[in-house]
Amino acid sequence: MNKNVRFLTHAAIIAAAYVVLTHAQNLLLPETTSMAIQFRASEALCVLAFFTPAAIPGLGVGCLLFNLTSGAALPLDFLVGSLASLIAAWGMWRTRGWKVRGVPVFGLFLPALTNAVLVGWELTVYIGGGFLLNAGGVALGEAAVLLTLGLALYAALEARGLGKRLFGQV
């Protein structure tokens, strides 16, 4: 398969999975995907950025598509939330080799950091409450997802060699 087609296919599948998982969670557990302290299970897909650069546009587009199709998204979130996802995924790809005992610990915290700063600022603009409070809430939700579901997904992909088999050599 052509390298560009493979990249676009992986990015599209990741984006679609993000949108479907987030909407499914929103149906089953309303408002857990769009509140100040959110626990978007789909954010666990961020760990795919450790295995393929296609996760960068995939996660950014997935976040954008969910925000566009969700009635709960704030107008600025189309840009800010998607930008936070892009920056986090890019950082995760760039730091994929920084591991502690085989785990890319620093990279696992990047979504919490980028979303805390960007989405925390956005929430402060829209709902007030103070930047540190909003950023802390966003960081808490992101870190919880990445350190539970994300770490489990990463470990499963690594243990079975699925990262390399699905996405090729990195």
Q: Give yes or no for residue 170 having a pLDDT over 70.
A: no
Q: What is the pTM of this model?
A: 0.88
33 in helix, strand or coil?
coil
Query: In terms of C-beta density within 10 A (0-12 exposed, 13-18 middle, 19 or more buried), how is residue 130 classed?
Result: exposed
The share of the chain scoring above pLDDT 90, in percent, equals: 52
* CB 116 within 8 Å of CB 138: yes
Phi/psi zone of residue 125: left (φ > 0), alpha (ψ -120 to 50 degrees), beta?
alpha
Q: What is the pLDDT of residues 12-44, one digit of tens each?
A: 999 999 999 999 998 888 877 777 677 889 999
Domain architecture of the chain: domains with CATH: 3-167 (1.10.1760)
Q: Give yes or no for residue 95 having a pLDDT over 90.
A: yes
Best CA proximity match to 111, nearest among 127, 130, 87, 93 = 87
